[in-house]
Chains A and B, each alone.
Chain A
Amino acid sequence: MSGGPLDAVLAGREVIVCAGSGGVGKTTTAAAVAAGLAAGGRRTIVLTIDPARRLAESLGLPDAGNEEIRVAEDRLAAAGLAGSGELWAMTLDAKLTFDELVARTAPDAETRDTVLANPIYRQLSGALAGSQEYMAMEKLYELHAGGRYDALVLDTPPSRNALDFLDAPGRLSRFIDSRSLQLFRNSGRAGLGIFGRGAGAVMAVLERATGVDLLRDLAEFFNAFGGMAEGFGDRARTVEALLASELATFLLVTSPRAAAIADAAFFHGKLDEAGMPFGAMVVNRVREPVAAAHGEAVSKELTALLGESLARKVARDVADRDRLAARDAANIERMRAELGGAPLVAVPELPGDVHDLAGLGVVARLLLDVG
């Protein structure tokens, strides 16, 4: 079969995570993969947690948080993406997901309200310190467990080193883990004895450094949250197991620029260390050399056609393009050596910026056998 370069990589995978540093076309790749899988017959949803809501824009969807929205068939057909599957999309609202989770996990309404109103919780559930990543995992789990989709494609939050994405959920779940929280529950200073001698003194120093209210808020947060922590921890471990399983795969997305390639190579190593399944490296916006445009005969022909001055301008455009294409090729070779035979897909730079469904269709056909 002819097929696309990612057909084999994604066969049988139910969870596809697109990761990479910022500005490399991750959202576009995630949306194009989802559109391609849908056109290939799978009921697919793409999740993005990018606060800029780029995906919604790409899909022509209105702003919407945590809503599963189906992309209309006629829109898909117009972009050459008609097929037997379905394409759905969701813009994840981390704060809303966190609130939903608290409401579901809280033992009673009072605990729920205490947590939701606590200043520490309100900061924690916002855009800070890994909550986006954690909530992406949470939604991924929920949708996967719901079983309504054949494939889930996750666009991860923009992060320059892409590592936060793997680390953050673990960090947050370790923190929320009940054993550590127990230490703070109903603590006051006496309860901190478990930290060993001097903990009371440490707390006294800390109060001096921070101000008392912060500690009171923390104690309240821990108290209210403590009973819910076990569920959070379990959930994080289940998601981690799902991601490490053969149902999942990671697509690493990069641009051919040196800095992005270095980030992607680093992330590939980390993925390996973490025992997560690597699917393929997708290199976006690769410039190609101007084939056959060189030599004296061509130069003479252009001069005859255009005159000397205009022919020189054309030659400079060709030289610029070739220089950039040579750099791209060298960086991609470095990446191939790094991957040692694992799949790498180079997506050529397309005329114009890919920001609508038609553009996604073009990318989807470069990645998958859309039919």
Chain B
Amino acid sequence: MDGLLDRRLIFVTGKGGVGKTTVAAALAIAAHRAGRRTLVCEVADQERLAAAFGLPAAGFREVEVERGLNAFSVNPEDAIQEWLRYQLRSRTLAGLLGGSRVFQYLATAAPGLAEMVTIGKVWELAQLQRKTPGSAPYDLVIVDAPATGHGIALLGAPRTFGEIARVGPVHRQARIVDAFVRDPETTAVVAVALAEEMPVTETLELERRVATELDARLARVFANALLPDRLSGSEAGALEAALADGPSDGARAALTASLAAHQTARAQRSQLGRLKRGLDAPVTTLPHLLTHDVGRDGLDRLAAKLGRDL
């Protein structure tokens, strides 16, 4: 539709607890199945992604999930070290500087440095000409980003950093990264939402913040964990009539549970409608897997749905 999987970078954000990691992993599988050499990447010491694939923690390196599908975990400490090595073109000098107290104070002082080197590493991973020696380029990098506020701070870091460092190499690099992450041809910012009152409200707000604070737009919203609605209106009526008929306790409990599931599903549909009406971005729905631990099977199911819809 909008060629989401044809971008170079997909940045997955949204409110906490809505399933960002799951959606990022499922998107990665879908892209991989569509023939893209894909890297899925998490930030800020999460190590949830590897667990989603049933793998040991990836760490600050490209770990193969399967051929053509890799995982990576960016942490600011390693990203700063790597950045210094490129900057100074000397491992010894970088080690000296990175280990010095002066630098550590400065690194804490320079606000947004952690965000800047993190998004800088993400940018590097998404380049066709990789800087990391011996590394192959990816067609697509998918980032399991932090929740709304921190996610925006991460995307905005190059711009704010470029303003702090008004001249010099940091300024130039920040500009390059900023241009890449805010170009809709190369980068898609997508959000994951649940079809509930507050997550919908926050997603609508997120779209506005992406526009005003980043001067960018949301490419797509994934409405996650939609429950099945098994009953038609007249069937729900039949259940209510049966309930009024004085059933046994067991039947009453079953009827009540089924009606509650129906009501929850209906409420979700209504919130989904509100989401769609309020957003400029298109919405893709994903089903509730009706299980706690999504697992590789669950990811594959979601990826298959995404493969059909995207």
Q: Are these two chains actual partners, yes or no?
A: yes
A residues near B (Cβ < 8 Å) are 21-24, 51-52, 54, 57, 119-120, 123-124, 126-129, 157-158, 160-161, 171, 175, 180, 183-184, 192, 195, 198-199, 202-203, 205-206, 208-214, 217-218, 221-222, 255-260, 290-295, 297-298, 301-302, 305-306, 310, 313-318, 320-321, 323-324, 327-328, 331, 351-353, 355
Residue of A171, A258, A355 near B198 (CB, 8 A) is: A355
B18 at the A/B interface (Cβ < 8 Å)? yes
Given contacts A260-B17, A353-B198, contact A209 B87 (CB under 8 A): yes
Residue of B242, B247, B251, B261 near A320 (CB, 8 A) is: B261
**A185 → chain B closest CB, angstroms:** 12
A320 to B148, CA, bound (A): 31
Interface SS of chain A: helix
B245 at the A/B interface (Cβ < 8 Å)? yes
B window 197-252: CB within 8 A of A? 197-198, 201-202, 205, 228, 230-231, 235, 238-239, 242, 245, 247-251
Q: Which residue of chain A has its CB nearest to the CB of B194?
A: A23
B residues near A (Cβ < 8 Å) are 15-18, 21, 44-46, 48, 84, 87-88, 93, 96-97, 100-103, 105-106, 108-112, 114-115, 146-150, 152-153, 160, 163-171, 196-198, 201-202, 205, 228, 230-231, 235, 238-239, 242, 245, 247-251, 253-258, 260-264, 267, 290-293
Q: Which residue of chain B has its CB nearest to the CB of A215?
A: B106
Residue of A161, A259, A317 near B257 (CB, 8 A) is: A317
Interface SS of chain B: helix
Residue of A297, A306, A327 near B248 (CB, 8 A) is: A297
B48 touches A318 (CB 8 A): no
Given contacts A306-B238, A313-B231, A323-B290, contact A212 B168 (CB under 8 A): yes
A113 to B149, CA, bound (A): 28
Residues of A within 8 A of B169 (CB): 208-211
Q: Which residue of chain B has its CB nearest to the CB of A163?
A: B45
Residues of B within 8 A of A213 (CB): 164-168
Residue of B109, B153, B239, B256 near A127 (CB, 8 A) is: B153
Residue of B17, B103, B248 near A301 (CB, 8 A) is: B248
Given contacts A209-B169, A259-B48, A324-B292, contact A290 B257 (CB under 8 A): yes
